[in-house]
């Protein structure tokens, strides 16, 4: 049975697809919020902040790098009272998303390793593995990142939808220029095949969007592959 698509862009990417409302941001310094926010509340607050910041960037009030910096600062404030040793395994992936937004990739890596040990669904395994691969690439272990990304290729077609976009938009940019560009090029080439194999619900909005965007993402990925193999810079 075909299923709805889970995009592999992580929190910030999901927000860019979420619309243009700019909600009032919860104050992470409010005493009533300190130390009590459940992971889903953290993620919801961060989603609202990302929506607001990137909406301003779309309207050219601020630049995209400024929006990302504001989001990272906000995520850092949200996390300041969180005790990593108190995080439950089934919540680790949610905290990891906020840690990634705060650019705390080493901490996010630990959370994702915990999450993967306790992943109860294939969808969760695929998404957490792709996020872990991004963290590993950012931290300089590109070979581990490639191996982690490739571990998702065993997923059934219904769980493959996040792979190509995550490799193209997150893992390759994070690992590029760190001594493994040829291997990243091959990873991306193989991820194109994974994207083609993905089975999505063509009647759903997300499924339609996936199929509509796939040719564009493949073309972009092929261009990046050429650049990686030629030793060129992003265009």
pLDDT tens for residues 13-29? Answer: 443 333 333 344 444 44
Q: How far apart are CA 9 and CA 16, in angstroms?
A: 10
The mean pLDDT of 202-215, rounded to a whole number, is: 95
| Residue 36 belongs to domain with CATH number | 1.25.40
Helix, strand and coil in the chain, % to nearest 5: 70, 0, 30
Range of the domain at 119: 10-230
Structure tokens at 155: 């997923």
Q: How many CB atoms lie within 10 A of CB 1?
A: 5
pLDDT at position 35 over 80 = no
pLDDT of residue 235: 56
For the chain, what is the domain count?
Answer: 1
Q: How far apart are CA 2 and CA 111, in angstroms?
A: 30
Residue 1 inside a domain? The answer is no
Residue whose pair of structure tokens reads 């779309």 in the numeric block: 58
Q: How many CB atoms lie within 10 A of CB 217?
A: 18
Residue 186 inside a domain? The answer is yes
Question: CA angle, 234 as apex, 228 and 235 as ends, to 5°?
Answer: 125
Q: What is the pLDDT of residues 64-76, one digit of tens each?
A: 999 999 999 999 9
Q: In whole numbers, what is the pLDDT of the chain averaged over residues? A: 85
Q: How far is CA 169 from CA 7, 8, 160, 176, in A?
A: 11, 9, 16, 11
The mean pLDDT of 173-190, rounded to a whole number, is: 98
Residue 4 inside a domain? The answer is no
* Contact yes or no for 20/58 (Cβ under 8 A): yes
pLDDT at position 206 over 50 = yes
Backbone angles phi, psi at 17, to 5 degrees: -95, 0
* Contact yes or no for 140/102 (Cβ under 8 A): no
Residue 147 inside a domain? The answer is yes
Residue 189 inside a domain? The answer is yes
pLDDT at position 156 over 80 = yes
């Amino acid at each position: 049975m075909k299923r709805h698509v889970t995009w592999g862009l992580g929190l910030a990417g999901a927000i860019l697809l979420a619309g243009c409302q700019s909600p009032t941001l919860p104050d992470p310094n409010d005493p009533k919020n300190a130390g009590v926010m459940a992971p889903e509340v953290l993620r919801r607050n961060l989603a609202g902040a990302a929506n607001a910041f990137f909406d301003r960037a779309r309207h050219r009030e601020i630049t995209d790098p400024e929006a990302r910096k504001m989001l990272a600062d906000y995520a850092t404030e949200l996390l300041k009272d969180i005790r990593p040793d108190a995080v439950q395994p089934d919540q680790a992936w949610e905290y990891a998303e906020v840690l990634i937004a705060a650019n705390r990739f080493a901490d996010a890596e630990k959370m994702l390793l915990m999450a993967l040990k306790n992943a109860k669904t294939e969808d969760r395994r695929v998404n957490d593995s792709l996020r872990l691969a991004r963290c590993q690439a950012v931290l300089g272990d590109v070979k581990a990142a490639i191996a982690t990304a490739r571990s998702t290729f065993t997923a059934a077609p219904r769980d493959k939808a996040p792979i190509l976009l995550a490799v193209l938009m997150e893992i390759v940019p994070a690992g590029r220029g760190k001594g493994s560009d040829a291997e990243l090029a091959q990873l991306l080439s193989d991820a194109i095949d994974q994207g083609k194999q993905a089975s999505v619900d063509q009647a759903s909005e997300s499924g339609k969007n996936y199929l509509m965007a796939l040719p564009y993402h493949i073309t972009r990925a092929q261009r990046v592959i050429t650049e990686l193999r030629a030793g060129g810079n992003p265009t």
